[in-house]
Amino acid sequence: MTGNEDSGDLGRMGDPVAERVVAELVAEGRLGEVNRLLREWRSNDQALPEGLPAPLREFLEQARGAVPDWADQTRLRRVREFFQDDGIHIGASLALGSMALAYAVPLGAKMMSLTHRLKYPERRMANTAQFVFDLMSPDPFGPDSRFVVSAVKVRLIHATIRHHLRASGSWDEERDKVPASQEHLLIVWLALSVQVIDFLGRLRVTVTDEEAEDYLHTWRVAGTFLGISPDAMPDTTAQARQVLADALARGGGPSPEGVELTGHLLDLYADAVPGRLFDGIVPAYLRHLVGKDIAGWLEVPRSWFWQAALGGYLSLVGLLEKVEDRFHLGKRVLDKAGQVICDLEFRILTHGKSAPLELPLELAGYNPDPGQVASAAPVEHAGEQPVIPVEELVAEILPEPRAASEPDLAASREPGTRP
């Protein structure tokens, strides 16, 4: 599997199995009822709620047990150690760099605009944070997995968005291909997987070849639960880099929606920091991650002062990496500090809350069933529940620590080397 299947075909492909289930739910006016029932389904070891429509129940039972035969349990266990060492940098790269990279694809940004997702960055952040922590839990695809439940719900959300966009007439499928197509999902998947490895390199975090390939493998398994074709997902980081470069050359670029999404993301970080003195550091950090070309597409503010200050921070990261490599006690202290910082960052950015993943009842200006009252946030709505305390997640993910200039996106390094 090289991930080099014809891009036109991937752009015309959605998820027919999930879409058929959603079509029946919409036709019967049961989206709201299903959301209420699924709100209590949080772990894969739970029985499915009573009262679910038979086609949906059959789909969920099949989807939640679909661990591929090629999943390597040894590699999945090893990636936990990678997250244990570098979880703080992985989390920051995912929450900022990967999200912004997804906004650099105009069709994806347009789709998010039409589904109201532009207006709720803190909810997207909360869901993303929980999603990543669940993936890096001790057994992310096992019987008691929270990740599998979230991934299957996301798959249904994508199918519901496709249904609504087609029914509303607001999406030109002949011109723009299938909304939330296999091609679009693959780009997002690449931003979450191989691009994070390259982001870490830009942060002067050492990643071994084995760690990089194990991380990609974990995301390949995760992709199957999200409804991405296994044949579309590259086997190796080298293949994945090439697929991402080709995809961005073909479909990346500036868009008003991408600029607006990025602005909301930066505002979210700015609001999390008291005062305005340090507002410039986050744009500088983002520009360093994605490179000047994509930063230009997204209109990320430039500050020579903060770019220089960021250089000092990166030097410190490099120094701390050496301390971790050479001193067991230093490694324990830094891993614990990383736990605290992860806790603080996600609590501030998400306000300590998480919005449940639910099927959208409507899109902007389109409601397929006027009898159902949609919430103020149609895609991620229906109240909030307390997010699982980050320190509890970290305690699961990170048990006892084990012993010891702006680049362009295309200029990716090989894993195991420093920039």
Query: Is residue 365 a contact partner of residue 22, using CB atoms and an 8 Å limit?
Result: no
CB burial class (10 A; 0-12, 13-18, 19+) of residue 229? middle
CA 290 – CA 310 distance, rounded (Å): 14
**Six-digit token string for 61:** 């039972």
**Six-digit token string for 411:** 């200029």
Q: Tell which residue, 102, 148, 128, 136, has the closest CA to residue 215.
A: 136
Q: Tell which residue, 345, 344, 342, 356, has the closest CA to residue 387.
A: 356
- pLDDT of 376 > 90? The answer is no
pLDDT, tens digit (0-9, with 9 covering 90-100), for 309-343: 776 666 666 555 554 555 444 444 444 444 444 55
- Between vectors from CA 249 to CA 248 and to CA 250, what angle results, nearest 5°? 90
Query: Is residue 205 a contact partner of residue 321, using CB atoms and an 8 Å limit?
Result: yes
When pLDDT is cut at 50, 70 and 90, the band that residue 244 belongs to is very high
CA 384 – CA 115 distance, rounded (Å): 19
Q: Which residue has the higher pLDDT, 362 or 183?
A: 183
pLDDT given at position 371: 46
Quote the pTM value.
0.80
Q: How many residues are given for the chain?
A: 419
CA 392 – CA 138 distance, rounded (Å): 13
Q: Which residue has the tokens 């739910």?
A: 25
When pLDDT is cut at 50, 70 and 90, the band that residue 414 belongs to is very low
Query: Is residue 241 a contact partner of residue 4, using CB atoms and an 8 Å limit?
Result: no
| CB-side neighbour CA atoms (13 Å) of 3 | 26
When pLDDT is cut at 50, 70 and 90, the band that residue 354 belongs to is low
When pLDDT is cut at 50, 70 and 90, the band that residue 348 belongs to is low
DSSP H helices in 104-228: 106-114, 121-135, 147-168, 173-176, 182-192, 194-202, 209-225
- pLDDT of 413 > 70? The answer is no
pLDDT given at position 255: 96
Mean pLDDT of 163-190: 93
Query: Is residue 150 a contact partner of residue 130, using CB atoms and an 8 Å limit?
Result: yes
168 C-beta neighbours (distance < 10 Å), count: 16
- Sign of the CA dihedral 265, 155, 80, 389? positive
pLDDT given at position 337: 44
**Six-digit token string for 79:** 């990636």
Mean pLDDT of 354-381: 52
Query: 30: helix, coil or strand?
Result: coil
Q: Tell which residue, 273, 256, 268, 308, has the closest CA to residue 287.
A: 308
Query: 366: helix, coil or strand?
Result: strand
